Amino acid sequence: MRKGSVKNTRINSEVQKVLAEAIRSGLKDPRVPEFTSVTDVEVAPDLKTCKVWVSMLTDDGNVEAGLEGLKSAEGYLRRELAHELNLRNTPELIFLPDNSIEYGNRMSQLIDEVSRADNAARAARGEGDQE
Protein backbone atom coordinates (compact mmCIF):
# COMPACT_ATOMS: atom_id res chain seq x y z
CA MET A 1 0.00 0.00 0.00
CA ARG A 2 1.41 3.38 -1.01
CA LYS A 3 1.27 6.47 1.16
CA GLY A 4 -1.15 8.55 -0.92
CA SER A 5 -3.35 5.69 -2.12
CA VAL A 6 -7.12 5.67 -1.74
CA LYS A 7 -6.89 2.72 0.63
CA ASN A 8 -4.38 4.52 2.87
CA THR A 9 -6.55 7.66 2.89
CA ARG A 10 -9.58 5.58 3.86
CA ILE A 11 -7.65 3.83 6.66
CA ASN A 12 -6.44 7.22 7.96
CA SER A 13 -10.02 8.46 8.06
CA GLU A 14 -11.33 5.40 9.89
CA VAL A 15 -8.49 5.41 12.41
CA GLN A 16 -9.14 9.10 13.09
CA LYS A 17 -12.84 8.45 13.74
CA VAL A 18 -12.19 5.54 16.09
CA LEU A 19 -9.47 7.37 18.04
CA ALA A 20 -11.56 10.54 18.36
CA GLU A 21 -14.48 8.57 19.76
CA ALA A 22 -12.28 6.53 22.12
CA ILE A 23 -10.56 9.64 23.46
CA ARG A 24 -13.82 11.54 23.84
CA SER A 25 -15.84 8.85 25.54
CA GLY A 26 -13.48 6.24 26.93
CA LEU A 27 -10.50 7.96 28.53
CA LYS A 28 -10.66 8.68 32.23
CA ASP A 29 -7.14 10.11 32.62
CA PRO A 30 -7.37 13.55 34.31
CA ARG A 31 -4.27 14.73 32.41
CA VAL A 32 -6.15 14.53 29.11
CA PRO A 33 -8.38 17.61 28.74
CA GLU A 34 -12.08 17.13 28.07
CA PHE A 35 -11.77 19.14 24.86
CA THR A 36 -9.20 17.04 23.03
CA SER A 37 -9.71 16.54 19.33
CA VAL A 38 -7.87 14.38 16.83
CA THR A 39 -7.11 16.77 13.98
CA ASP A 40 -5.16 14.46 11.68
CA VAL A 41 -3.89 10.90 11.43
CA GLU A 42 -1.18 9.42 9.24
CA VAL A 43 -0.90 5.64 9.22
CA ALA A 44 2.31 4.27 7.71
CA PRO A 45 1.78 2.15 4.57
CA ASP A 46 3.03 -0.96 6.43
CA LEU A 47 0.51 -0.32 9.26
CA LYS A 48 3.27 -0.42 11.88
CA THR A 49 3.06 3.18 13.11
CA CYS A 50 0.45 5.89 13.23
CA LYS A 51 1.12 9.58 13.84
CA VAL A 52 -1.81 11.21 15.61
CA TRP A 53 -2.05 15.01 15.76
CA VAL A 54 -4.20 16.23 18.64
CA SER A 55 -5.43 19.66 19.60
CA MET A 56 -6.17 20.32 23.26
CA LEU A 57 -8.08 23.16 24.85
CA THR A 58 -6.60 23.48 28.33
CA ASP A 59 -7.04 26.03 31.10
CA ASP A 60 -3.37 26.08 32.03
CA GLY A 61 -1.97 25.60 28.52
CA ASN A 62 -0.13 22.44 29.59
CA VAL A 63 -0.39 20.32 26.47
CA GLU A 64 2.60 18.16 27.49
CA ALA A 65 0.66 16.65 30.40
CA GLY A 66 -2.19 15.79 28.03
CA LEU A 67 0.23 14.14 25.61
CA GLU A 68 1.68 12.10 28.49
CA GLY A 69 -1.84 11.01 29.41
CA LEU A 70 -2.49 9.91 25.84
CA LYS A 71 0.82 8.02 25.72
CA SER A 72 -0.09 6.18 28.90
CA ALA A 73 -3.47 5.25 27.38
CA GLU A 74 -1.91 3.94 24.17
CA GLY A 75 -2.66 0.33 25.08
CA TYR A 76 -6.33 1.07 25.59
CA LEU A 77 -6.52 3.09 22.36
CA ARG A 78 -4.76 0.37 20.36
CA ARG A 79 -7.18 -2.21 21.77
CA GLU A 80 -10.11 -0.03 20.68
CA LEU A 81 -8.57 0.28 17.20
CA ALA A 82 -8.10 -3.47 16.96
CA HIS A 83 -11.67 -4.05 18.13
CA GLU A 84 -13.26 -1.57 15.72
CA LEU A 85 -11.08 -2.01 12.62
CA ASN A 86 -9.98 -5.22 10.96
CA LEU A 87 -6.39 -4.33 10.09
CA ARG A 88 -3.50 -6.67 9.46
CA ASN A 89 -1.51 -4.90 12.20
CA THR A 90 -2.64 -2.53 14.90
CA PRO A 91 -0.26 0.41 14.58
CA GLU A 92 1.85 1.89 17.35
CA LEU A 93 0.45 5.34 18.18
CA ILE A 94 2.67 8.42 18.21
CA PHE A 95 0.91 11.49 19.62
CA LEU A 96 1.95 14.92 18.36
CA PRO A 97 0.56 18.34 19.31
CA ASP A 98 -1.32 20.24 16.61
CA ASN A 99 -0.72 23.94 17.06
CA SER A 100 -2.59 25.10 13.97
CA ILE A 101 -5.57 26.44 15.94
CA GLU A 102 -3.33 28.51 18.21
CA TYR A 103 -1.37 29.70 15.17
CA GLY A 104 -4.59 30.71 13.40
CA ASN A 105 -5.83 32.58 16.48
CA ARG A 106 -2.52 34.43 16.78
CA MET A 107 -2.58 35.41 13.09
CA SER A 108 -6.16 36.64 13.48
CA GLN A 109 -5.13 38.76 16.47
CA LEU A 110 -2.22 40.25 14.53
CA ILE A 111 -4.48 41.09 11.58
CA ASP A 112 -6.98 42.75 13.93
CA GLU A 113 -4.21 44.81 15.53
CA VAL A 114 -2.92 45.99 12.15
CA SER A 115 -6.46 46.80 11.03
CA ARG A 116 -7.11 48.85 14.17
CA ALA A 117 -3.80 50.70 13.78
CA ASP A 118 -4.59 51.38 10.12
CA ASN A 119 -8.07 52.70 10.96
CA ALA A 120 -6.60 54.90 13.71
CA ALA A 121 -4.02 56.30 11.27
CA ARG A 122 -6.74 57.03 8.70
CA ALA A 123 -8.87 58.75 11.32
CA ALA A 124 -5.88 60.85 12.40
CA ARG A 125 -5.40 61.96 8.78
CA GLY A 126 -9.12 62.75 8.52
CA GLU A 127 -9.82 60.18 5.82
CA GLY A 128 -12.70 58.50 7.66
CA ASP A 129 -13.45 54.79 7.81
CA GLN A 130 -12.33 53.00 4.64
CA GLU A 131 -13.65 49.50 5.37
CA distance 124 to 103: 32
pLDDT of residue 10: 93
| Mean pLDDT computed over every residue of the chain | 88
Residue with the bigger pLDDT between 102 and 33: it is 33
Name the pTM for this structure.
0.75
Q: What is the mean pLDDT of residues 3-20?
A: 90
Q: Which residue intervals of the chain are DSSP H helices? A: 6-26, 63-72, 74-84, 100-125
pLDDT of residue 99: 81
Residue 65's identity, in one-letter code, is: A
Residue 54's identity, in one-letter code, is: V
Q: What is the mean pLDDT of residues 87-94?
A: 91
6-98 falls under which CATH superfamily?
K homology (KH) domain (3.30.300.20)
pLDDT digit string, tens, across residues 14-54: 999 999 999 998 888 888 888 888 999 999 999 899 999 99
Chain centroid offset of residue 28 CA: 19
pLDDT of residue 128: 66
Name the nearest CA neighbour of 56 among 15, 18, 13, 97.
97
pLDDT digit string, tens, across residues 53-64: 999 887 777 788
Q: How many CA atoms lie within 13 A of 46 on its CB side?
A: 3
